[in-house]
Amino acid sequence: MYDFSAFGQLQTWISLLTLTFMEIVLGIDNIIFISIVVNLLPREQQPRGRTIGLLLALVFRVALLTSISWLVSLRAPLFTLPIPTAEGPFGVTGRDLILMTGGVFLLYKSIVEIYEKLQGHDDDGAGMGKAGTTMAGVIVQIVIIDIVFSFDSILTAVGLVSNVLVMIAAVIIAMGIMLAFSGVVADFVNRNPSIKVLALSFLIMIGAMLVLEAAHQEIPKSYVYFAMFFSLVVELLNMRMRKNMDAVQLRNSECE
């Protein structure tokens, strides 16, 4: 299981690079959620909140990797519901309960955040945070989502690589990269309100996907991530166009 000699093989390093890339891609939604939730704190506490959030995500992932047998057991039905399926009665597993809880929480949190922005209750962009928001409250929310995202991330890793050490190394490297760039991502999202709404919309889509997976309705993640990437490209083009239009209007006003 812990085979260090495997690192002397080229295939192991290829697997490590592939899995690291996959972990970064799967961790983007985690960074987005952490950035949005941490933004509720005063500006001076936000870097600490992001660091704690990502370190907790790392701890959960490594802990799950060292207990793969328990992770696999979560796929076994805990009880059945009188809902006919092609395989027989609908069996509810521990994985289903985790995904359903995380999906519903993600939907609720994202919808509330969008509603508050539409009502003008969002923070003023100065990084003052929201009244009544504490570091402990933010960390609890991060922990809930970290568990769900870690679960999904590790299931992907187990499907790609069989060496646990390679999985742990990939998770540590990916988390290190995400930790280094989390501040940049958070600042970009917070500086651009339209990007923040788009990020919240992404989280709604991911939450819906988790709920559907809990109902045994699998959706290829490639479709979801392609839609997210395409939407982001369109919004970046719109931002560029608005910036150019503002520059033209400024020049015209100066000429007048």
Instruction: Please spell the DSSP secondary structure of 180-230, one letter per residue.
Output: HHHHHHHHHHHH-HHHHHHHHHHHHHHHHHHHHHHTT----HHHHHHHHHH
Residue-wise pLDDT tens for the chain (256 aa)?
A: 455 666 667 777 887 888 888 777 777 777 888 888 888 788 888 888 888 888 888 888 888 777 766 766 777 888 888 877 766 778 888 888 888 888 898 898 889 888 887 876 655 444 445 555 678 888 888 888 877 777 767 766 666 666 778 888 888 888 888 888 888 888 887 787 788 888 888 888 888 888 888 888 877 777 877 888 888 888 889 888 888 887 877 777 777 6
3 state SS of 78? strand
Residue 88 phi, psi dihedral angles, 5° rounding: 115, -150
Q: Are 56 and 143 a contacting pair, CB within 8 Å?
A: yes
Q: Are 165 and 13 a contacting pair, CB within 8 Å?
A: no
Which residue intervals of 2-45 are DSSP H helices? 10-38
Cα 223 versus chain centre, distance: 16
With a CB cutoff of 8 Å and minimum separation 6, the contacts of 58 are 171, 172, 175
Residue 82 phi, psi dihedral angles, 5° rounding: -75, 55
Count of alpha carbons within 13 angstroms of residue 196, beta-carbon side: 23
CA distance 41 to 131: 9
Q: Please name which of 173, 220, 227, 202 lies closest in space to residue 36, comparing C-alpha atoms.
A: 202
Where do the domains of the chain lie?
Answer: 4-218, 220-256
DSSP 168: H
Q: Please name which of 214, 22, 50, 28 lies closest in space to residue 127, comparing C-alpha atoms.
A: 50
With a CB cutoff of 8 Å and minimum separation 6, the contacts of 223 are none
